Amino acid sequence: EAIRRRVPRIRDAVVVEQVGTPLTHARYLRRHRGNYGLAIPAGSGEMEFPPVTTPLPGLYRCGDSTTAGIGVPAVASSGAQCANALLSVWEQLKMNEAIQMR
């Protein structure tokens, strides 16, 4: 509902919709006990979350295993980071207007 308020015609664009639970993630994504994010001990300095950019031109990543971290706000932020890597703010605003995202 929250997305529909921002993008009224979103249902018209949905091709596939899937609902997942921790059990789904454990089975299909091979996530230990359905957990999210990388297993990086806090403050260990062992490893950093990877950025949204990759060594392959045109390939970007977003989600709970990238620099933003786990949780819905962080995953949404990683999507915004990808958008910022692809388009300028002005291009994004123009696109938002085109899809009636206000």
Q: What are phi and psi of 25, to 5 degrees?
A: -65, -35
Please list the alpha-helical segments (H only) found in 1-102: 2-6, 10-13, 22-28, 72-86, 89-98
Look at residue 34 and give its three-state secondary structure.
Answer: helix
Q: Which residues contact 65 (CB under 8 A, 6 or more apart)?
A: 37, 38, 49, 50
What is the pTM for the complete model shown? 0.53
Stretch 36-65: mean pLDDT, rounded? 76
What pLDDT is stored for residue 86 in this prediction? 86
What pLDDT is stored for residue 40 in this prediction? 64
pLDDT digits (tens, 9 = 90+) for 66-83: 877 777 788 888 888 888
What pLDDT is stored for residue 41 in this prediction? 64
Contact of 64 with 70, CB cutoff 8 Å: yes
What pLDDT is stored for residue 38 in this prediction? 67
How far is it, in rounded angstroms, from Cα 100 to Cα 59? 27
Per-residue pLDDT band for 101 (boundaries 50, 70, 90) equals low
